[in-house]
Chains A and B, each alone.
Chain A
Amino acid sequence: MSRTGVRMGARARWTPEQVLALAPDEASSSAGSRLGVAGPWSETGCSASGEAVWGRCKGSGSTPYRTVVDLTGGPAASCDCPSPKFPCKHTLGLLLLWAGDDGTVSEGEAVPDWAERWLTGRREPAAEGGAVTGGGTATAAGPADPEAARRRAERRAARITAGARELEQRLADLVRGGLASAEQPGYGVWEETAARMVDAQAPGLAARVRELGAIPGSGAGWPLRLLEEIALTHLLDRAWLSLDRLPEPLAATVRTRVGLTAPASGPAVRDHWQVLAQYDTGDAKLTTRRIWLHGTETGRTALLLSFGAAGRAPQLALPVGAVLDAALSAYPGAGQVRAELVEQFSAPVPAAGPPPGGTTAEAIAAYGGALRDDPWLDARPATLTGVVPVRTDTGRQLQDAAGALPLTPAAANRPGLWRLVALSGGAPVTVFGECGHQGFTPLTCWSPEDPTETVPLV
């Protein structure tokens, strides 16, 4: 097995930035930073293979808290402090201490009983589950009553169909009356329509409708953007209503876009997956974490999604810049990049450099091509090699000899933009990001000066 992109023999400790990226909020990040030093800690250690870290942290009580982190997974952690946050500040502090690598957390220490108990308890269920081999399929237990499940699915499909018809009607009414009316104050039709789509159990349609409602306030040129998005929503409605006439991969894509997600069912693909980016989006109710992976041997790009409800950080977190020996299973649908982490075989190691990339022209052409499989696709992952960030009269863009991609307005206003500009210094860099019709959103950058340093831009 070739090990392209994997720096062998290097210690797999994380950087403080990677650790702090796990923090659920600013306060945890600060509190964790204060605990990332030797003072309050005792009985610290980590396994030689870098799979687990443990330690006891002195808190306000008489007994120090016991903190263990299993790094082979998302990572997972256990701490007997009363904090409702995950990971808690002790976990962050312990990881920072370990990342700091000043000798406080030494390798190969004997695992204390309390840590051993948790680590063993954690690994047992995994051993019982379907073992994944290269190319094998994880066997999931079927539903208890297949007939009842089928009836439930039919009922839901019928409700979505009713919802899609209703949405069609509303879109047609809107075009009949004119989109210009959508800008009028107190125009509450979107909110109400979105609620109707939630009732119809079509969360994908509901989300689209909510986004439609935001467009009239989005600045110059909004009527065109609104027309485009309404047309694509109409296209999705039509596709759903004629689902039985679509080829299966496209039908699967339509089901996913409407909000009917099937479990990841693709064959498990074992590879050395390089973590290219991780970032969160969302509102007060739900946080969505997106993690982009690149298979160093298969050359595939995969997206892991993880969700956290109401102020809790999503459980899955991977260090950007690391490479994992892991198996992923893809979700159904044509052109689908979403996958699920099935199993991780060892602790992450640092990547040696950026993934292979291409030109700006290739990236935008690849996005165009991907629309054949999924016309609702907003952006597609792309690595640009040798691009320079340039400021123009109309905004910022990434350019190479082949052409230029404007940055999306959101990306141009993020603080990470300045890390990109600083790393470039006016010279070409390699950038990973999402490329789509609104422009390019840079997520990660590597400078030629130090290609082993993976710099997150979000």
Chain B
Amino acid sequence: MSRKLIIDPVTRIEGHGKVTIQLDDDNNVVDAKLLVVEFRGFEKFIQGHPYWEAPMLLQRICGICFVSHHLCGAKVLDDMVGVGYSTSNLITPTAEKMRRLGHYAQQLQSHATAYFYLIVPEMLFGMDAAPEKRNVLGLAVANPELVKRVVMLRKWGQELIQAVLGKKMHGISSIPGGVNNNLTAEVRDRFIKGDATIPSIDDMLEYAKEGLELFYDFHEKNRVMVDTFGDAPALDMCLVDNNGDVDYYHGKMRIIDNDKKIVRELDYHDYLGHFSEATEEWSYMKFPFLTELGRDKGSVRVGPLARVNVTKSYSTPLAQIALEKFHAYNKGKSSNKTLHTNWARAIEILHSAELIKELLNDPDLQKDQLVVTATDAMWTGEGVGVVEAPRGTLLHHYKANKEGNITFANLVVATTQNNQVINRTVRSVAEEYLGGKAEITEGMMNAIEVGIRAYDPCLSCATHALGEMPLEVTLLDAKGNQIDERRK
């Protein structure tokens, strides 16, 4: 008899969803889906509010990548008042560099959270280890010195976010046309040199290097597993600068295929002209795809792996060495290997630390030209903002009426962009770990979760909901009857 497997909940991700796996009469996987089952309408909630409140309110979608939402909203507001990248009237270098500094600080601490909380423990203890061991708390018991460094990485990142954005969470620094503060030399020196409460930027670089070494060690010992687990082909997309290198704050949207051939390159203001969103009755999360290629061929992957696949080089030396090693290992092709996402994330932690060090030493951050003032005549009432959030390309689009109140808001978050490729990963892992099996084991459950967690999905963001949500796995027979279910 065919079977259907339900994993409910999938743990240690953000959002409420479950996985359903359909088996045939011989227990072969014939379908696998990640179902996202919670919805809360942030886009509706924002309507009627003054336009300038949007970056403040919409960042409350998330407690982790709130800086990305804040900056994305700020870029929209720049457009709306006629000061953005849609014009030649750009914000000042100080304003953009302040925004970038906060952005990189968030990437550092967000990636460190995902990597050290969720991924390193599984690398060190193994996928089959008991759940209470393979997490950061188990790591705290086994290697407290490593966890102390993780604590400091997060603390350092959070404190830098506070220094730049005014608050540790849900910052207030970006305003239409710029920012409301610069970085004083005294504050700058604290982060460069460290003090009694925080380490120095060079310490952060050391911690980041150690994080990457952890992946290299793990990869060396588990090469076959890492290179075959959850293979999920997709196009790769990220923002790039004029050299074709990733730019986390601004650029063109570049989409490449597995041979690194450019499939599309577009101004993000034209996003809606190139992408469509499919819906499924079993999930609140949409499935974006390149309209011209269709959903099957036109779905994209975003986030660390996509960025490392797309970018040709890094501006910083240590990350450049790591990137060359990654590209050489994958023989010039884009990697579709789900666990290489963790490799890419570790590289980006290092790159973020280097970018921060560069900016901390940039005297533009102490300058006073913070805002480009807009006149009423420059008002456009509509804008699009895109940034590379830690989890991938994030897009905000708002419209406001002549009174300045929001009439329309649309958010396309990274986890939504990755919806199709996450589903492909679940299918791939299910085929390998569940195909031909008659019952669910802890190791099988965790394999599914490892595949999903590689994307560090935020289903709260993807459905515009708040709160933490676990996940389930359900097993269905060929007639669609539920024959097994498991949750943690």
> Do these two chains really belong together in a complex?
no
Interface residues of A (CB under 8 A from B): none
Interface residues of B (CB under 8 A from A): none
